Structure 1
Amino acid sequence: MEGKMEIKKRLRTKTVLLLLDDVDNESQLHALVQKREWFGKGSKIIITTRDQGILKVPTLVDEAYELHGMNYKDSFELFSKHAFRTNRPIRKYFSHSGRATKICGGLPLALVVIGSLLSGKSIEEWDAILKELEKSPQEDVEKKLIISIEALNESQKYIFLDVACFFIGCDKRIVIHMWESCDFCPHQSLSILQQRSLIKIRDDNQLWMHGWLRDIGRNFIRRESDMKPEKQKWVWTYEQALDVLEKMQNGGGFHGNESIEAICLEFDEQSRYPFIKEFLASLSNLRYLRVDEKSISQVDSKDFSGDSVSILTQADPFQYYHNSNFHQTIFGRLPELRWLSWNCFRKDYRLTSFSLRKLVILDLLRSNITKEWDGWSHIQRARNLKVLNLTGCQELRETPDLSFNVNLVQLILEGCRSLVQIHPSISHLKRLVILNLKDCYHLRMLPDEMGELDSLEQLLLDSTSIEEIPEWRKVKKLKILSLVECKSLKKFNFVGCATSSMELLSVDMLFTQLPKSIKNFNSLTELDLTHSAIHELPDSIGDMKNLKELKMLNTPLRKLPRAIGMLEKLERLDVGAFSKLGGEIPNNIGKLQFLRKLWIKIRRISRAPQLPGSLIDLGFLSTLTKLPFSAEGTQALLQDFAKPT
């Protein structure tokens, strides 16, 4: 209800264009666009869905338009781009390409996936696959796309279905540790899945999959298990989990269940998981367990019964919740567990005897654990642990002793707002690659022991109260250092922090100018000075020959130095300043042959030089009335300019 009121409050006086993509439930419409008066006069709302029934709401939907498939010419071209990486097929594949295009029926996703499946295969393989595809009715696209899934090897199939069920939107760099532990050859498998257009990996390393492919993958799982959830390897909804539990109970008890390998559970006032002890203990091949715990104190105790000894014991048991149903040996019987994700884990719980031998990822997001929590001594046994995620653990004031977890690769402490100290044992983490301390508002000091992290590649300190970045001589592999919104930062040793591998530096501080020593960051590919107090750039910035992106939005910059034109590899330049910036854009900027995006959001630029023809994205907010270009066709970019007001 609060969300609806907020939408109405913020948007009722604004004219908006709102796109709701891939809506699959009418409740989503009621939650976001229930009433027209929530939006200002002239607003337009576009809804895309695969279920026409959702649009049959006369008070909300004025018109419904059925999107037809692509025409044959465009379909043929799209198919060829994915099958041959060009707009037209190789001559000997021409007729086969026509067959494949007709099979896809003008559906872009089918053209992309089937084109990618056939790419690089022989004529004989094309014939066999096309014959199989032609067996399905023209309208049965799902059966055609399932052929792409069936063509995967076992490891590729596991990873595809893992993503379809659990990991859309997850960071590839985290999930990959579980797949490596399971010998799924994730680097090679992900490459194949991308080549066949079954998944995408975004620039921020998030895994993405088309909603249709997600549903096809899940339906594939259902069919493979004869539509019986208890036989599925993946159980991805809370409702499914409860259904499986009840069926196993009614079927005569909980015997060894070797099918389920990944499952998610939810505990709240609506959830009822009787006999949870026996259920979990039966999952001998479980490798991924996610538990979302909400309002646990409201769960009626009559729904939880079992032995008095538990894996999760409490110093001060809750009045209504007796978790004695989690027997001491449950997790001891989960020898294949690789990833335990327990949302809102309580400090009253004490991990005692579940198997940590193969655990590589531990998520305890938004838990109220502290440094004194008893469970840390048990986590020390997880000698193969690669990722420890403590995001949002707001009662954690100091990190625990991690000296035994020497294989840790990622330590995520984002949003630990009470954190004030990092334990000296961090020096033992010689394999640590990523340390995320974003939004640890009260953290003021970094320990000297961090200078021993010789594998560290990413250090994220955004929105902390860090006052100084020490000079760490052994941190030679640092690639990304982010200091956005570090308003207490007083000392930053540019020379000491420069490494031969540094790629991204985001600096948001009170310094008014960059030192000449910035040139020591000669491997830097991205420099972000957005929201900084920088009013002048040194000429030495021209020595940063590998720089590809330079961002200086919302800065009091006074002028653009000529040295910017010396950044030979520059692809993107964003400059947005307060009213102080004026003068001219350097003439030599036209020589930047790789420059693709140029945004100049200032008003007092009097003249622009010849601009490079490589530009594909150009934006100005200035008093300029004429822009010269060095290539034909670039004038079309003018239509995207922001007009002066």
Structure 2
Amino acid sequence: MIQQMGQEIVHQESIKDLGRQSRLWKHDEVCEVLKYNKGTDDVEGIILNLDALTEDLCLSSDTLAKMANVRFLKIHKVRYWDEYKFNLYLPHGLKSLSNKLRYLRWDGFCLESLSSNFCAEQLVELHISLSKVKRLWDGVQDLSNLKTIRLHDLPELIEIPDLSMARKLEHISLLDCISLCELHPSIVSLPNLKIMGLFRCSKIEILKVHSKCLRILVAYDCSSLKEFSITSKEMVCLNLRKTTISALPSSIWNNGKFSDLHLTVSNNLERLSKEGGMGSITTLNHSECMKHNAWNMPFSQPLHHNFGNLSFLETLWPWF
């Protein structure tokens, strides 16, 4: 109710001149401002639901450039997995985006990269999904406020930019980036990175993470991943399901906080429990690990006789 009241107050700011409203979220009004290039410096926030489009929406190259004070830009699909019926296009390219952007989500972004003069100095969250983007930008950006990056369903992405200036980055998630062969070296040593998720990034072969704050690392279904190391003493959860990792670094067992381990048959590990640090593990998911002889015993023998150093184990996900 309070939110609706606030929205109505904002809506009345300039009802006769939509391009001067500070926030645009009503679908028809957003489309009118974008389609007819009516935006002004008064606009600070835009939300566009792509699922509600009844036709393709084509923008002039300077449509977003004219709204230089936009801090929040969300162009998204609510029904994420449904196919696109219509989309937003930039047939003449993208001149620029606001330098004041703090939140940017753009599903179905139609270009191969963001504008060449894109400035991310104020950016806190970046979400690019369902796009043919190949790279985000060139060179090194001042990313001093960036905390979250989500790059999902980008099958043509070939490069992650230099993130060495993203000293506050806490969360990075890469999903179905199937052309990405490696991560930029700057990513794996970010000082405040807490969560890294790689999902079905099938060409990444090597992952060496040296961020001291990392708590959760997921490399799920990264089918080419064969070399792996990590040095964080804050690690809580490690998921290497459907990778080809055959050995775990001994350093992770020296971490008393490490509690969740997820593996599958493709890991083909031979031994776990002789590592002294495994006493901290409370959850072990070895789903489908039919070849995984973690306790140096055939699976025909009762598992509960052979937990070795797993003295705090609370949850054991079965292999069958």
Could you tell me the TM-score, scaled by structure 1's length? 0.40
Equivalent position of 2:252 in the other structure: 497
Structure 2, unmatched stretches of 5+, are: 78-83
Please state if 1:422 is matched with 2:178.
no
CA–CA separation in structure 2 for the residues paired with 1:530 and 1:558: 17
Identify which of structures 1 and 2 has the higher relative contact order when contacts are C-alpha pairs closer than 8 Å and 6+ apart.
2
> How far apart in 1 are the matches of 2:282 and 2:262?
11
Corresponding letter in the other structure for 1:463: D
- For the residues of structure 2 that align with 1:239 and 1:511, how far apart are their CA atoms? 55
CA distance in 2, matches of 1:425, 1:535: 34
Aligned to 1:559: 302
CA distance 1:368–1:504, change in 2 (3 Å): same
Matched, 1:322 2:80: no
The aligned counterpart of 2:74 is 290
CA distance, structure 1, for counterparts of residue 278 and residue 311 of structure 2: 15
C-alpha deviation, 1:481, in angstroms:
0.5
Give the corresponding residue for 1:544: none
What residue identity is the alignment partner of 1:376?
Answer: D
How far 1:461 moved relative to its partner? 1.0
Aligned pair 1:433/2:194, yes or no?
yes
Q: 1:557 and 1:512, CA in 2 relative to 1: closer, same or farther beyond 3 A?
A: farther
- Alignment map for 1:542-621 (pairs within 5 Å): 556=299, 558-562=301-305, 572=315, 575=318, 577=320
Alpha-carbon offset, residue 477 of structure 1: 1.2
Query: Alpha carbons of 1:255 and 1:417: their partners in 2 closer, same or farther (altered >3 Å)?
Result: closer
The Cα shift of 1:525 comes to 2.8
- Report how far residue 460 of structure 1 moved: 0.8
1:461 maps to which of 192, 197, 219: 219
1:516 and 2:273 aligned: yes
Question: Do the aligned partners of residues 467 and 237 (structure 1) sit closer, same or farther apart at CA in structure 2, a change above 3 Å counting?
Answer: farther
Are residue 376 (structure 1) and residue 118 (structure 2) matched? no
The whole-number CA distance in structure 2 between the counterparts of 1:278 and 1:287 is: 15
In the alignment of these two chains, the number of paired residues is 304
| Corresponding residue to 2:290 among 529, 533, 540 | 533
Give the SS at the match of 1:461. Answer: strand
Q: Which amino acid aligns with 1:497?
A: I
Change (3 A) 1:570 1:233: farther
Partner residue in 2 for 1:156: none
**Cα distance change on mapping 1:338 and 1:369 into 2, 3 Å:** same
What are the equivalent positions in structure 2 for 1:139-538 lying under 5 Å apart? 146=1, 217=3, 219-225=4-10, 230=18, 235-236=24-25, 238-243=27-32, 255-257=40-42, 260-264=44-48, 266=50, 270-272=55-57, 277=62, 281-282=66-67, 284=69, 286-292=70-76, 321-323=91-93, 327-328=95-96, 331-332=98-99, 335=100, 337-370=101-134, 375-377=137-139, 380-447=141-208, 450=209, 452-464=210-222, 465-470=224-229, 472=230, 474-486=231-243, 488-493=244-249, 495-498=250-253, 499-509=255-265, 510-511=267-268, 514-533=271-290, 538=295
Sequence identity (%): 21
Instruction: Give, as a single letter, the amino acid of the residue that structure 1 aligns with 2:248.
Output: F
Using the alignment, how far apart are the partners of 1:363 and 1:388 within structure 2?
6
Contact 1:468–1:492 under 8 Å retained in 2: no
Residue 489 of structure 1: CA displacement? Answer: 2.3
Deviation at 1:463, TM superposition (A): 0.8
CA contact (8 A) 2:281 2:313 kept: no
Distance, in Å, in 1 between the alignment partners of 2:259 and 2:113 is 42
Shift in CA distance, 356/265, structure 1 to aligned 2, threshold 3 Å: farther
List aligned pairs for 1:3-82, cutoff 5 A.
none
**1:133-157 deviations in whole A, cap 9, x for unaligned?**
xxxxxxxxxxxxx4xx5xxxxxxxx
For 2:187, what is the secondary structure of its paired residue?
helix
Give, in whole Å, the separation in 1 of the partners of 2:310 and 2:272. 18
Shift of 1:280: 6.2
Structure 1 residue 287, shift from structure 2 partner: 2.6
From the superposition, tell whether residues 240 and 406 of structure 1 become closer, same or farther in structure 2 (CA, over 3 Å): same
Looking at structure 1, the residues matched to 59 and 196 of structure 2 have their Cα atoms a distance apart, in angstroms, of: 40
Quick one: distance in 2 between partners of 1:443 and 1:506?
19
| Structure 1 portions without partners, runs of 5+ | 1-145, 150-216, 300-311, 313-320, 540-554, 578-645
User: Equivalences for 1:66-145 in 2 at 5 Å?
Assistant: none
Higher helix share: 1
Give the Cα–Cα distance (whole angstroms) in 2 for the partners of residues 256 and 468 of structure 1: 50
1:416 deviates by: 1.0
Looking at structure 2, the residues matched to 420 and 533 of structure 1 have their Cα atoms a distance apart, in angstroms, of: 29
Partner of 1:437, secondary structure, is: strand
Aligned-residue CA RMSD in angstroms?
4.0
Deviation at 1:574, TM superposition (A): 5.0
**1:282–1:457 Cα change, 3 Å:** same
**Per-residue deviation at 1:270?**
1.0
Q: Counterpart amino acid of 1:430?
A: P
How far apart are 1:232 and its partner, in Å?
7.2
- Does the 8 Å contact 2:290/2:319 carry over to 1? no
